Amino acid sequence: MIPQPPFDQAVVARHGWAQAVATVLVALGAMGVVAALGLWAAGASDLPDNAFPRVVAATVVTAVGGTIKLSGSAGGLADTKAGLTVIPLSVSLTGALVLGAGFLRPLWHRAVAAGRELAGWAARIAVLWLAALLALAYAARQTFKLSLGDDTLSDLGDLFGVSPEVGFTTDVPQTLLFGLLWMAGVLLLALLVSTRAPLPGRLVPLQESVRPAAHAMVVLLLAYVVLGTLIALVVAVTRGHARETLAVILLGMPNLVWLTLTIGLGATWNGRVEGPFGLPMPHLLDEVLRSKDTATLNLRTLAEHDGRVWWLVVVDAVLLLAVAFLMAARSPARVRAWQHAVHMAVALALTVLMICLVGRISAQYGLSVLGIGDLGGGLDGKLFLEPELWAAVGLGALWGLVTGFLGALLARPVRRKGEIKPADA
């Protein structure tokens, strides 16, 4: 008889370095494909100096929390300014789903998993992830020359020695740090959400309290993305602009639909769009953000332009009740309704906090000569969108309490773990 390897060796064989390489490459490859298609749809394939691959690399870097620095120069008599903070959440979501699935695959259908084993498997992925991020960070660098426009401005540029350039580079230490934190968060969330992957002994109590709530929040976020994508496709078919719609879907659909999720809860965002900048959102939101120096974005202000905005409250209520029911149905029978309400409140508050942190947007650029800004118009712009954070989190907790309690009541007729029917006695 051929001797069988010890249990630990058999486990390592199923998720060793080869599997870690495949997991990292497939995750980053999927993110790169989504980013490339989205940027192509947005027209970035026409960028000069073969910059498209570097812009794709920069998009992937920002999608995992990396930092891209914008820089500019325009000669001795001119000054430039530029800054950008935005996360392409469609690319982030793609990477999270693929990386999480790759991490969990060797663990499916296992009864137990030691903490040491899981740490070793995650460490292999982390080492390769950091190496890949380092390569991407050095690839995401480019400089572009800007045109001053008509002949008069070009002549002024030649006169003052103004040759405006703008470029981007990567903050390597911050990219590696935040990229590693992003990866750790994805792996931890995947472990908490999955019902087929085992937890270490110390984390088993989380299986009954945290897992159903975490799973419900992931379902909620994905449901909004699917619903938003379907609506966008219908609009593209009926009204045109297919390429622009594809760019929004592949780059920023979660940015848009998760924003509307918080607005439907009653949250308020403050923002401004000035100059040629635009946001990946319907015309209604863009119109409100261009109406004042600092516009308030909530149900009341949007309803002043279009009363159909109140349907966001209905959509939120229906989907939250659905995931609250799902959470209660997946929980043990001994968990009481008020406990479901607390679990839902905490989970939804943390979800809203995450949306508010990753959904912020800020961008600006400008050119001035001899202290005169906005030379020729169109060369300056500003955009920002920020939430009223703690009010939004509080509203999320309140909605979670109500829908969690109602969902638990709706799930009472459903047979759950630990429940014994009279016929089974």
Pairing of strands 361-369, 78-85: antiparallel
Higher pLDDT, 378 or 310: 310
The pLDDT, as a whole number, for residue 398 is 97
Alpha-carbon distance of 330 to 323, in angstroms, equals 10
pLDDT tens digit sequence for 180-221: 999 999 999 998 888 777 877 777 777 777 889 999 999 999
pLDDT tens digit sequence for 238-283: 887 788 889 889 999 999 999 999 999 999 999 887 765 555 566 7
The C-alpha R_g of the chain, in whole angstroms, comes to 25
The pLDDT, as a whole number, for residue 195 is 77
Dihedral sign from CA coordinates of 221, 223, 226, 230: negative
Q: What angle do CA 207, 213, 219 make, to 5 degrees?
A: 120
Q: Categorize the per-residue pLDDT at 4 as very low, low, confident or very high, splitting at 50, 70 and 90.
A: very low
The pLDDT, as a whole number, for residue 419 is 53
Question: Is 103's pLDDT higher than 90?
Answer: yes
Q: Categorize the per-residue pLDDT at 321 as very low, low, confident or very high, splitting at 50, 70 and 90.
A: very high
Residues 6+ apart with CB under 8 A from 60: 28, 31, 32, 35, 91, 95, 136, 140
Average pLDDT across the chain, whole number:
81
Helix, strand and coil percent figures for the chain, each rounded to 5: 65, 10, 25
- Give the pTM: 0.86
Question: Around Cβ 187, how many Cβ atoms within 10 Å?
Answer: 22
The pLDDT, as a whole number, for residue 425 is 33
Q: How many CA atoms lie within 13 A of 350 on its CB side?
A: 13
Measured in degrees and rounded to the nearest 5, phi and psi for residue 384 equal -155, 155
pLDDT tens digit sequence for 24-47: 999 999 999 999 999 998 888 887
pLDDT tens digit sequence for 143-182: 766 554 544 444 434 433 445 566 778 889 999 999 999 9
Higher pLDDT, 15 or 295: 295
DSSP string, 13-79: HHSSHHHHHHHHHHHHHHHHHHHHHHHHHTTGGG-STT-HHHHHHHHHHHHTT--EEEEEE--TTEE
Cα dist from 1 to 7, 11, 13, whole Å: 17, 21, 21
Question: Is 22's pLDDT higher than 60?
Answer: yes
Dihedral sign from CA coordinates of 88, 90, 94, 100: positive
Indicate the residue type of 229.
T
pLDDT tens digit sequence for 39-90: 998 888 887 778 889 989 999 999 998 888 776 544 443 345 556 678 999 9
Alpha-carbon distance of 196 to 340, in angstroms, equals 22
DSSP code of residue 309? G
Higher pLDDT, 130 or 236: 130
